[in-house]
Amino acid sequence: MTGPLSNHTTFKLGGEPKLWLVLNKLEDIPMALTQVKQDGLNWQVLGGGSNTVFVGGETNLAIFKMMLKGREVVEDSGDYTLIKVAAGEDWDELVAWTTTQDLVGIESLSLIPGTVGATPVQNVGAYGQEVSQTIKEVAVYDVVNSEFKILTNNECGFGYRDSLFKCQPGRYIITSVTYALKKSEPLLATKTRAEVISLRQSKLLDPKVVPNVGSFFKNPIVSKEVGERLKEKYPEMVAHTVDEEKVKLSAGWLIEQAGLKGYKKGAFTVSSKHALILTHDGDGTASDLLSVIVTVIDRVKEQFSVQLEPEPVLIQ
């Protein structure tokens, strides 16, 4: 594996890292960590590069390219099928396979790019499903204690686009994920998958054609009082109840209302198709990107007093 990170990420940004190390088997993990320690390098695990944006720092960076492969049905009880999948497997290929087996639980997460190992990191979600709803356990290498271990679903600290892995970057390298999927009536999962694919293809931008990372900002979660105050002022505002105390606002709606749909700086544009998507049309600079991010966050804060947060992992 070689070349600039722009060739290995869907945002197509990033220079040449100092070192590429490919993780093909479990033993490669402690070996790679020993090597970067000896060489005094920072390191970063990379799956499919669809949620990572490199904005500098590559010159002292080693990339651990996750290539662990394999899929195994570990238990097939009457109600549930437990499937253990290696971190380097392609996520959408897994979803496609499970739907052909009439298993439900992840079919609404169809067509999300990337690897299996990255799905627990931001607790991937779409159309009412979150991957944490079906994860039984996550196998990891614990970098601090230098040991392989298993984390139960509870131990993963899942939240909205959040997890222990996102909160403690560099602590765990995920080696496999075990999903518990339910048996369903024939063709139900396949039908949902087809509907989701058609919806996504009409709404989202294909990163192979237009470099992007999907949603660039998380939908902000605010208190019910803040949500009600905003709703009074902006009755058409999009808001969903999270629980008795919190509501989730639509970051895309806030960005659009702040007048930023189509906003452009250098090679970066707030998509005029969907304000939550930032596109990169090649040769962009880190400083232009950071300027767009700050502009979006500041303008939304100014108008709505709501704080936006980027969704992808920014490496600087």
Ligand X SMILES: Cc1cc2nc3c(=O)[nH]c(=O)nc-3n(C[C@H](O)[C@H](O)[C@H](O)COP(=O)(O)OP(=O)(O)OC[C@H]3O[C@@H](n4cnc5c(N)ncnc54)[C@H](O)[C@@H]3O)c2cc1C
The binder of ligand X chosen from 14, 17, 105, 125 (CB under 6 A): 125
Integer Cα distance of 230 and 262 in angstroms? 24
Does the protein bind ligand X through residue 119 (CB under 6 A)? yes
Q: Which residue has the tokens 């209302």?
A: 257
Does the protein bind ligand X through residue 117 (CB under 6 A)? yes
Q: What are phi and psi of 89, to 5 degrees?
A: -70, 150
Using only C-alpha atoms, what is the Rg of the chain?
A: 20
Q: Which residue has the tokens 């999009």?
A: 238
Does the protein bind ligand X through residue 114 (CB under 6 A)? yes
Contact at 8 Å (CB) between 256 and 308?
Answer: no
215 has catalytic annotation: yes
Q: Which regions of 184-232 does DSSP assign to beta strands (E)?
A: 221-223
Does the protein bind ligand X through residue 207 (CB under 6 A)? yes
**Residues in 50-69 that interact with ligand X by CB under 6 A:** 50-52, 66
Q: Which of the ranges 42-50, 183-191, 254-262, 295-303 carries the binding residues for ligand X, by CB under 6 A? A: 42-50
The binder of ligand X chosen from 98, 178, 192, 212 (CB under 6 A): 212
The binder of ligand X chosen from 62, 83, 103, 124 (CB under 6 A): 124
Active-site entry in 58, 130, 137, 311: 311
Integer Cα distance of 287 and 270 in angstroms? 16
Q: Which of the ranges 12-20, 124-132, 232-240, 241-249 carries the binding residues for ligand X, by CB under 6 A? A: 124-132
**Residues in 84-113 that interact with ligand X by CB under 6 A:** 87, 112-113
- Shortest distance in whole angstroms from residue 45 CB to ligand X: 4
Q: Which of 151, 203, 202 lies closest to 174, judged by CA?
A: 151
Compute how many other C-beta atoms are within 10 angstroms of the C-beta atom of residue 264.
14
Integer Cα distance of 165 and 120 in angstroms? 8
The binder of ligand X chosen from 29, 213, 251, 289 (CB under 6 A): 213
Does the protein bind ligand X through residue 21 (CB under 6 A)? no
If the CB atoms of residues 17 and 48 are measured against ligand X, the closer one turns out to be 48
- Shortest distance in whole angstroms from residue 134 CB to ligand X: 14
311 has catalytic annotation: yes
Integer Cα distance of 203 and 189 in angstroms? 21
Query: Following DSSP, what letter does each residue of 95-135 receive, concatenated?
Result: HHHHHHTTEESSGGGTT--SBGGGTTTTT-EETTEEGGGTE
184 has catalytic annotation: no
Does the protein bind ligand X through residue 49 (CB under 6 A)? yes
- Which residues are CB-contacts of 172 (< 8 A; sequence separation ≥ 6)? 140, 141, 142, 143, 151, 164, 165
Size of the site for ligand X (CB under 6 A): 33
Contact at 8 Å (CB) between 266 and 282?
Answer: no
Active-site entry in 6, 110, 132, 215: 215
- Which residues belong to the active site? 161, 215, 311
Q: Which residues bind ligand X (CB under 6 A)?
A: 10, 44-52, 66, 87, 112-115, 117-119, 121-122, 124-126, 165, 173-174, 204, 207, 212-214, 313
